[in-house]
Chains A and B, each alone.
Chain A
Amino acid sequence: MANLILRDLVKTFDRTEVLHGIDLEVADGEFVVFVGPSGCGKSTTLRLIAGLEEVTSGTIEIAGRVVNNLEPKDRDIAMVFQNYAIYPHMTVRKNIGFGLRSSKAPRAEKEKRIEEVATILGMSDLLSRKPSQLSGGQRQRVAIGRAMVRDPAVFLFDEPLSNLDAQLRTQMRLEIKKLHQRVGSTIVFVTHDQVEAMTMADRIVIMKDGYIQQVGTPAEVYHKPANTFVARFIGAPSMNMIPGAVNGGGTLALETGGTLAFDRPLPEGRKVTLGVRPEDLGPGHDNPVIEGKVTVREPLGHETLIYVGTASGEVIAKADGRTPPEVGETVRLGALTENMHVFDAETGEALA
């Protein structure tokens, strides 16, 4: 078993509390991605798990034992850093084998393990090279290899793809996912890129200002965001937010005019925010929501994103790729009620 449990985890730097009681259970073999904007506490949480920072209060449990007071090396974890942290003065072989230095295994066994890892990562012919002779993707693989060679209970990844170009990032994303399927270890992955989170995670942990906003599968956080922050953070372009209020009879009156009938119960008289994803909002829909003039078109081939200036600001919608509305044209945008999200205007919490 290599599950990971965080209980009421608090971290304070000087007198500033940056994590305010994180509770999370990561199952054995699960791929969990922490995502959030800069300063949300995701990297701090990872560093606490790694033992690189001291826990102020709360407990961290790895594979059934509390590791708060254990040194990083004794926690049975391995970490891949944003800047790879592979040593420039050592060859790939030495870099990968570095994680085994403290191991008491016989030398032949260590060598065998290095070869195995190099084979898995497709780096067998690069073992005698120095990092300066490798590409960005290869360096990243060495960093992953160094983590793999120790066969840890939990892998920790701290924004490992941030320094790669877009194409390589997509490739490495896939490789890490395949690797996870192959080795089946527990992985905690930190990123600020919601696409990375969506494509790789079994479950996503969305953080903001040291609090967990929502934990769920990619589908859950996308289709059922817990609040406006999650709704805006997950999905690109961001969800459109249109202010309104709940009328009697459960109908929703938008500030821009128009009333929407909901089949879900809504608290009467409450000020709310209606959230609709751009991909769910489009012209020529049976259930119109808002009207405005097209200001910009972004053709993507199979579809075109249109930016529409409305009475409550600019909204983004999806139009047909072949016959999109012209710039300056007035369009009525609509969406299915089931694709609409209603949030409390004050707290931002999801209502329906």
Chain B
Amino acid sequence: MAVAEDIRPTSETLLKVRAPRRPANMGQFIRWALLFAGGIAMVMPIAYMISTSLKWPHEVYNLKLIPDEPTIDNYTYVLEDGRFYWWFVNSIIIAVITTVSNVLFDSLVGYTLCKFRFPGRYIVFIAILSTLMIPTEMLVIPWYLMSQQFGWLDTYWGIMFPGLMTAFGTFLMKQFFETVPDDFIEAARIDGLNELQIWWTVAMPLVKPALAALAIFVFLGNWTAFIWPLIVTNSVEMYTLPVGLSSFGDEADVAWELIMTGAAISTLPTLVVFLIFQRFIIRGVVMAGLKG
């Protein structure tokens, strides 16, 4: 009887068949270098912000990354300054309310434009989209006049009203609702749900990634908003964080170490939001084909 040849691979044969390791070519090197440079460009401002927040005033214009005499006095000063809490709370209130408002209303309008057939639907959509072409700087004056007429100057409502719904959010949500099959909506209709219930129970859970992406964009946009809150607020108590931080210092000098300290603290909520929504945002942004 013939003995079957042992055809199991040995370590030697495995070594032979393993693909040779490709040497890193020039293109790859350039790609890595660019990515590295990009990474540095991203991290440096944050590093300088933290570095400056740990410096004494006389050291601020010294570009050294590691302070000679690190101090946390700036943090103590900012946190002990009652105004900072006001600004922080103002920013939180405004960012949270506008985020919730956008998530609800942008998706409601996006859903309506996407899933209902009614005369003028296309015109409404184009009209909403066209507002994206108008820069904020152009809108600030009409907003201000409107706020003045309605008595909204120096109020939360005055700060928030332009951003309670956005054309971008509506567009984003409409595009995402396109991915929800009509069968789902019709099945729910047959099952006896009204249109609002269908939107909330069936459609909204299916676009969670988009909602997370929208929530992040809106939260960040409002958290860092500067021009409109600066114009519409008068009293220090109504300032938002960016406006408040810019007021550190006086006409002769800008207290950069305090501004950077406030900025460093104010990044914490955005980090928290990112950590919560991270897994959704990555998926959402990829799906939406948006830049972060």
Interface set of A (CB-CB < 8 Å, partner B): 50-52, 71-73, 77-79, 81-85, 87-89, 98-99, 101-103, 146, 150
Contact = CB atoms under 8 A, between A and B. Distances in A.
Nearest to A143: B187
B192 interface: yes
Contact of A79 (B190, B193, B205): B190
Nearest to A99: B191
B225 to A, nearest CB: 33
Given A85-B181, A87-B202, A73 B187 contact: no
Given A79-B186, A99-B192, 20 more contacts: A50-B186, A50-B190, A51-B190, A52-B189, A72-B189, A73-B189, A77-B190, A78-B190, A79-B187, A81-B183, A84-B183, A85-B181, A85-B183, A85-B186, A98-B191, A101-B193, A102-B193, A146-B187, A146-B191, A150-B191
Given A89-B205, A89-B206, A83 B190 contact: no
Contacts of A88: 206
Contacts of A81: 183, 186-187
A328 B206 CA distance: 60
B192 A101 contact: yes
12 contacts: A73-B190, A78-B190, A79-B186, A83-B181, A98-B188, A99-B192, A102-B192, A102-B193, A103-B192, A146-B187, A146-B191, A150-B191
A146 B186 CA distance: 14
User: Among B181, B186, B191, B193, which residue has the most Cβ atoms of chain A within 10 A?
Assistant: B191
| 4 A-B pairs with least C-beta separation | A102-B192, A73-B192, A85-B187, A85-B183
Interface residues of B, number: 14
A102 B189 CA distance: 11
Nearest to B185: A85
A85 B205 contact: no
A103 B193 CA distance: 10
B184 interface: yes
A73 B184 contact: no
Nearest to B184: A85
Contacts of A52: 186, 189-190
Interface in B167-197: 181, 183-184, 186-193
B128 to A, nearest CB: 25
B30 to A, nearest CB: 41
Nearest to A71: B189
Interface of B: 181, 183-184, 186-193, 202, 205-206
A146 B193 CA distance: 14
B191 A101 contact: yes
A88 B183 CA distance: 13
Contacts of B181: 83, 85
A103 B187 CA distance: 16
Most buried by B among A83, A85, A88: A85
B71 to A, nearest CB: 51
A72 B195 CA distance: 12
A283 B206 CA distance: 60
Nearest to A158: B183
Contacts of B188: 98
Contacts of B192: 73, 99, 101-103
Contact of B191 (A84, A89, A102): A102
Nearest to A73: B192
Contact of B183 (A82, A99, A146): A82
A89 B184 CA distance: 12
Contacts of A71: 189
A150 B192 CA distance: 11
Which of B181, B186, B206 is packed against the most chain A CB atoms within 10 Å? B186
Nearest to B190: A72
Contacts of B205: 87, 89
Contacts of B189: 52, 71-73
Contacts of A87: 184, 202, 205-206
Contact of A73 (B183, B191, B206): B191
A231 to B, nearest CB: 34
Nearest to A75: B190
A347 to B, nearest CB: 39
A223 B186 CA distance: 38
A143 to B, nearest CB: 8
A52 B183 CA distance: 10
A88 B202 CA distance: 10
A82 B183 CA distance: 8
Nearest to B191: A99
A53 to B, nearest CB: 10
Contacts of A150: 191
